[in-house]
Structure 1
Amino acid sequence: MNGRNVQAAMRDAAARGTRLIHFPEGMLSGYAKNPIQDWAEVDWDVVREELEAVMALAAALKLWVVLGSAHPLTPPHWPHNSMYVISDQGSIVTRYDKRVCSYTEVTRFYTPGHAPTVFEVDGWRFGCVICVEINFPALFMEYDRLGVDALLLSTYPVDRIFLVKARAHAAIHNVWISVSSVTETDHLFRSALIDPRGEVAAEVPGVQGVVVSTLDRSAPELDIALAKARPWRASVADDPRYDTAGLDDPRSTDRTSV
């Protein structure tokens, strides 16, 4: 159980004025199949107690917490692979359940979820994504349509290219992406905040720790991404200038001429 580490990170973050802290995939319960080989190994009463302790501390610190954990279902259903969204009042306001589980997950360990999750903190809209879902652009496009400012991506990665993909999604959709990864994969990359240009804005300084960064829509370096690129890209689908399917010009329809 990582409850003690979660609470220590929360205290560290709160002491530095943080409003929201984001944790990796499976942080509280442990992740299948490493180290969990069978759900019978998990004491769900202890997981619940640790979760309730995190909720109480969130209220005491006035801190929003997004925490990766397995969420048990009614037997014989396998758990969801989830992210709990805990408010600064200490309540679970929503939960994201991983929709695209890996082949191993869906075969042996987890029940997929079926819906996006969007929540707001201090006027900012956040969405949630988990690990292998990085490979499904439709999920990121959906969150774009839902108008999120930032995506919280909890992960237990298996390759270095993962961070490159996250940077690409951030740059394409002009959103911040928080990539929260586990210490076991520090040799691949470290947890980081990616800005709407796709640039790494902040990175955890050590194998284990907390990095604090501020989202700022008015930052000059983000003007093109946020004030120009994102609204223009959103407008293209409805802009009649791009609808040239009925263009009556032989120079356009003849694709073999020079």
Structure 2
Amino acid sequence: MTQNGNLKRRVRARAAKTGESYTAALRNIRQQPGRPELRSLRLAVAQTSLFDDPRDVSALRASGAEMRRLMRDAHQAGSRLLHFPEGTTCWPGKRIMSETGPRSIGPSDWTRFQWDVLREELEETRRLAGALKLWIVFGSVHRLTSPHRPHNSLYVVSDHGELVTRYDERLLSNTKISFMYSPGRNPVTFEIGGVRIGCALGTEVHYPEIFVEYETLGVDCVLFSTAGGTPSGAPAFAAEALGHAASNSYWISFSTLVPQSPGAPSGIASPDGQWAVQCPMDGQPAFAVTEIQTTPEGLARSWRKQVRNNLYAPHQIEGDLRSDERSLF
């Protein structure tokens, strides 16, 4: 605690002397010789159009074309990684998929999905990632062997155009678990240039344990992809993402679909729980870019880690009746 307090005073003193922002002063102090190496990553976050009918071949083609256009633009902006929302390729509507018809929600009929078209679009997108030397993370349905329901997934494709890993949503909504998807099992992390990244998906922003788990895994950033619920409920998703960034002291990239953007556009939250950058709130496909950095001396993070490891356990007061008593005075 004293060490953190001393660092804060040094940062404030430098900022007052040089006129730098607190963040810039902290970065420059951390980059001094003898301090842990800082690593950075130019990250772009996208918001994309809603395509909810997997029977519609033209819509699947359009979603692929939109992804690739944003990839080219993000590459031109110098991005190393482009993060897309849940259901980038298609976010199947629960009533469209219901085998009992659109008037009720029942088990999904996955034979309606144009799987061959999806595969063609994903292959073209993968090849473009390799050609652009751009990492991409995007939401898609991952088909399993019948009769098993598919996973709701995030694919991670490297700048060599190779599928590195896949994250499957673990904590599903009631409709998803009852009628649509099979749950995933494990957290997923990967690294780009020494920056460690975790993945979360769908409604998992409602579950702090997902984000605490990634903190224990030592990530520098979590990519959270969502369809955002209803447009009126989308701001709550964004607020929770900011809270997780602040409470775990790491970056969070929040990627959602364009219908949510008037209330909660895609954006990247810094470890202090503030938006570093956001997409426009105009309901149009777009991306936003910022430079994220590792925080080897995160002021709050190291202290909270100690607290979570029972820092205070040796200092518990035992044998004092006034400590055990639950009275006002």
Shift of 1:44: 0.7
The alpha carbon displacement at 1:35 in A equals 6.0
CA displacement at 1:108 relative to structure 2: 1.2
Stretches of structure 2 that go unaligned for 5 or more consecutive residues are 1-59, 99-108
Residues 32, 105 of structure 1: 8 Å contact kept = no
Matches within 5 A, 1:86-101: 86-101=157-172
The residue number in structure 2 matching 1:212 is: 289
**CA distance in structure 2 between the partners assigned to 1:257 and 1:41 by the alignment:** 64
- 1:10 aligned partner: 71
The answer to whether the 8 Å contact 1:25/1:155 transfers is yes
- 1:157 maps to a residue whose letter is G
For 2:253, give the aligned amino acid.
Answer: S
Is contact 1:179-1:193 (8 Å) kept?
yes
User: In structure 1, which of residues 193, 197, 215 is the aligned counterpart of residue 272 of structure 2?
Assistant: 197
Choose from 175, 183, 205 the match for 2:250. Answer: 175
Count of residue pairs brought into register by the alignment: 252
Shift of 1:73: 0.2
Tell me the distance in 1 between the aligned counterparts of 2:144 and 2:266: 29
Contact 1:30 1:36 survives alignment (8 Å): no
Q: Distance in 2 between matches of 1:85 and 1:36?
A: 26
In 2, are the aligned partners of 1:26 and 1:69 still within 8 Å (CA)?
A: yes
Partner of 2:324: 253
RMSD: 1.9
- State the structure with bigger RCO (CA 8 A, min sep 6), 1 or 2: 2
* Residue type at the aligned position of 2:175: T
Farther-moved stretch of structure 1 (96-105 vs 206-215): 206-215
Q: 2 CA distance for matches of 1:228 and 1:242?
A: 22
- TM-score (ref. length: structure 1): 0.91
Q: Which amino acid aligns with 1:202?
A: V
* 1:200-251 C-alpha deviation (Å, 9 max, x unpaired): 1101124321111110347xxxx9xx52100110012446544444523333
Gap change, CA 1:182 and 1:34, over 3 Å in 2: farther
Q: Structure 1 unaligned segments of length 5 or more: list them.
A: none
Mapped contact 1:69–1:81 kept (Cα < 8 A): yes
Q: 1:181 to 1:248 in 2, by over 3 A?
A: same
Out of 198-207 and 145-154, give the one that drifted further.
198-207
- Please say if residues 236 and 242 of structure 1, whose CA atoms lie closer than 8 Å, have aligned partners that are also in contact: no
Q: CA offsets, 1:88-115, max 9 Å, x none?
A: 0111110000001111111111111110
Say which one has the larger Rg. Answer: 2
**Whole-Å separation in 2 of the counterparts to 1:49 and 1:14:** 22
Question: How many Å apart are 1:41 and its aligned residue?
Answer: 2.4
Do 1:25 and 1:31's aligned partners in 2 also have CA atoms closer than 8 Å? no
Identity percentage of aligned residues: 40
Aligned partner of 2:85 among 24, 29, 49 = 24
